[in-house]
């Protein structure tokens, strides 16, 4: 027989809330899936020289910026040179982590068969080992996007980012924890795959923990040696200035990456799901969950480049292994699909999305009820075929 099941989220809006969620039929969900599959197939069929030239051009730019930054540190006793060198290193690290590292490790350029840009061999300028990042991000996050108790990116194990997460007095430190996670973001990303709560409960066994810790040791040793010993030492008496420049560049990269990632996942309008809601999920339902759980940042080409095109977080969650520079060209099609089916397409300028995230983090530090903006925007009608009794 055919079973139709409406599964509302567990979230309850405040009494003053009047917004009614859109109920999306099972037929509409699967139609959306077919449209998005068609977009994906078209882009995949079109991959070629232009995409290769694009990523190689970004790599050249990143390397030139790093070389310029390192060279300027040799005259870092001149304030303008130190500022320019630190700025060049900051942009270099942002490009390496966002448009190059993040996207290459998603397998977006595996089709090129270039070892330098292959997801299995690429290593980024970050203390987090790439293989651990691929597990915590590519697999855990992108498979279970915004599913409570499955997607550990919801709060990174230390923050309360959704009303469904239980409140306790420790949550009062939510904004403070967020600040330090932002400042030390590459270290938070590194620690993410250890899943400390599973270690504490004994669910993660020592051999696995040892493998992760060994990976940390090798990667951290290389990064710390490069940024805080070798390159500063090369500038001789300017060691302290070069050390400060490298530390500042890492800080700038950390704050930027944190802001972009949190704006793409946690501003008002992003929806979360329960494990029950997503059980036996169809491809169409998976697509809809990606759209409802993500948010974009509006801006121009430089903004998109600096974010690794994660300013198109909705498109990235739909197509994580397509070259990210293609997201702007398909964004209008995705937005049109959302409008035709009554789905929200959450987007806004960087300042607005950042403000929304921080307001939410302060509010969730307290045992307050959700607002109208935090009520679910869409309820998916699910249809399942079951054997006749």
**What is the predicted pLDDT for the residue at 195?**
87
The answer to whether position 13 is within a domain reads no
In the numeric block, the tokens 């302060």 are attached to: 362
At what angle are helices 26-46 and 327-341 packed, to 10 degrees?
170
The answer to whether position 7 is within a domain reads no
C-alpha–C-alpha distance, residues 46 and 40, integer Å: 10
C-alpha–C-alpha distance, residues 61 and 126, integer Å: 18
Q: Which residues contact 47 (CB under 8 A, 6 or more apart)?
A: 111, 323
What count of other Cβ atoms lies within 10 Å of the Cβ of residue 248?
17
**What is the predicted pLDDT for the residue at 204?**
87
Domain hosting 254: range is: 36-365
Q: Where are the extended beta strands (E) located within the chain?
A: 2-6, 22-24, 378-385
The answer to whether position 374 is within a domain reads no
> Phi then psi for 273, rounded to 5 degrees?
-135, 155
- Are 258 and 185 in contact by the 8 Å Cβ rule? The answer is yes
What count of other Cβ atoms lies within 10 Å of the Cβ of residue 170?
11
C-alpha–C-alpha distance, residues 29 and 380, integer Å: 8
Closest CA to 39 of 374, 298, 326: 326
**What is the predicted pLDDT for the residue at 11?**
37
- Judge residue 100's burial from the number of C-beta atoms within 10 Å of its C-beta, 0-12 exposed, 13-18 middle, 19 or more buried: buried
**In terms of DSSP H, where are the helices of 184-312?**
185-192, 196-200, 206-225, 231-234, 239-265, 283-292, 301-306
How far is C-alpha 117 from the geometric centre of its chain's CA atoms? 20
The answer to whether position 281 is within a domain reads yes
Number of compact structural domains in the chain: 1
pTM above 0.75, yes or no: yes
**What is the predicted pLDDT for the residue at 385?**
52
The answer to whether position 8 is within a domain reads no
The answer to whether position 169 is within a domain reads yes
**What is the predicted pLDDT for the residue at 280?**
87
- Going from the C-alpha of 288 to that of each of 39, 85, 292, 342, 348, the distances in angstroms are 15, 44, 6, 12, 20
C-alpha–C-alpha distance, residues 380 and 284, integer Å: 11
**What is the predicted pLDDT for the residue at 72?**
98
The answer to whether position 12 is within a domain reads no
The answer to whether position 376 is within a domain reads no
C-alpha–C-alpha distance, residues 259 and 44, integer Å: 30
Instruction: Tell me which DSSP letter residue 204 carries.
Output: S
Helix or strand or coil: residue 295? coil
pLDDT string in tens for the chain (389-residue length): 223 333 333 333 333 344 677 888 999 999 999 999 999 999 999 999 999 999 999 999 999 999 999 999 999 999 999 999 999 999 999 999 999 999 999 999 999 999 999 999 999 999 999 999 999 999 999 999 999 989 989 988 899 999 989 999 999 999 999 999 999 999 999 999 898 888 888 888 889 999 999 999 999 999 999 999 999 999 999 999 999 999 999 999 999 999 999 999 988 878 889 898 888 899 999 999 999 999 999 999 999 999 999 999 999 999 999 999 999 999 999 999 999 999 999 999 999 999 999 999 999 999 998 877 776 678 788 765 543 33
């Amino acid at each position: 027989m055919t079973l139709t099941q409406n599964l509302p989220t567990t979230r309850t809006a405040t009494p003053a809330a009047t917004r009614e969620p859109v109920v999306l039929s099972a037929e509409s969900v699967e139609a959306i899936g077919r449209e998005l599959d068609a977009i994906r197939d078209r882009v995949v069929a079109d991959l070629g020289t232009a995409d290769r030239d694009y990523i190689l051009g970004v790599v050249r730019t990143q390397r030139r910026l790093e070389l310029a930054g390192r060279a300027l540190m040799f005259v870092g006793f001149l304030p303008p040179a130190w500022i320019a060198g630190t700025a060049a290193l900051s942009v270099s690290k942002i490009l390496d982590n966002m448009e190059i590292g993040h996207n290459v490790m998603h397998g977006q350029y595996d089709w090129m068969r270039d070892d330098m840009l292959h997801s299995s061999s690429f290593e980024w300028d970050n203390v987090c080992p790439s293989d651990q990042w691929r597990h915590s991000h590519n697999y855990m996050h992108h498979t279970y996007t915004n599913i409570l108790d499955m997607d550990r990116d919801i709060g990174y194990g230390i923050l309360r980012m959704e009303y469904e997460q239980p409140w306790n007095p420790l949550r009062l430190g939510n904004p403070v924890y967020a600040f330090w996670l932002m400042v030390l973001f590459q270290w938070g990303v590194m620690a993410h795959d250890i899943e400390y709560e599973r270690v504490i409960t004994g669910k993660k066994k020592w051999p696995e923990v040892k493998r992760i810790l060994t990976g940390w040791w090798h990667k951290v040793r290389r990064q710390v040696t490069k940024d805080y010993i070798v390159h500063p030492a090369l500038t001789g008496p300017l060691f302290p200035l070069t050390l400060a420049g490298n530390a500042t560049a890492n800080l700038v990269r950390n704050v930027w990456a944190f802001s972009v990632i949190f704006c793409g996942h946690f501003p008002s309008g992003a929806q979360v799901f329960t494990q029950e809601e997503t059980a036996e999920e169809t491809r169409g339902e998976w697509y809809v969950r990606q759209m409802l759980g993500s948010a974009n940042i509006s801006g121009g080409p430089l903004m998109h480049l600096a974010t690794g095109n994660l300013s198109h977080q909705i498109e990235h969650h739909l197509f994580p292994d397509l070259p990210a520079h293609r997201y702007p060209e398909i964004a209008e099609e995705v937005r049109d699909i959302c409008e035709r089916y009554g789905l929200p397409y959450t987007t806004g300028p960087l300042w607005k999305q950042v403000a929304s995230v921080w307001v939410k983090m302060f509010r969730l530090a307290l045992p307050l009820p959700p607002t109208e903006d935090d009520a679910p925007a869409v309820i998916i009608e699910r249809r399942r075929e079951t054997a006749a009794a």
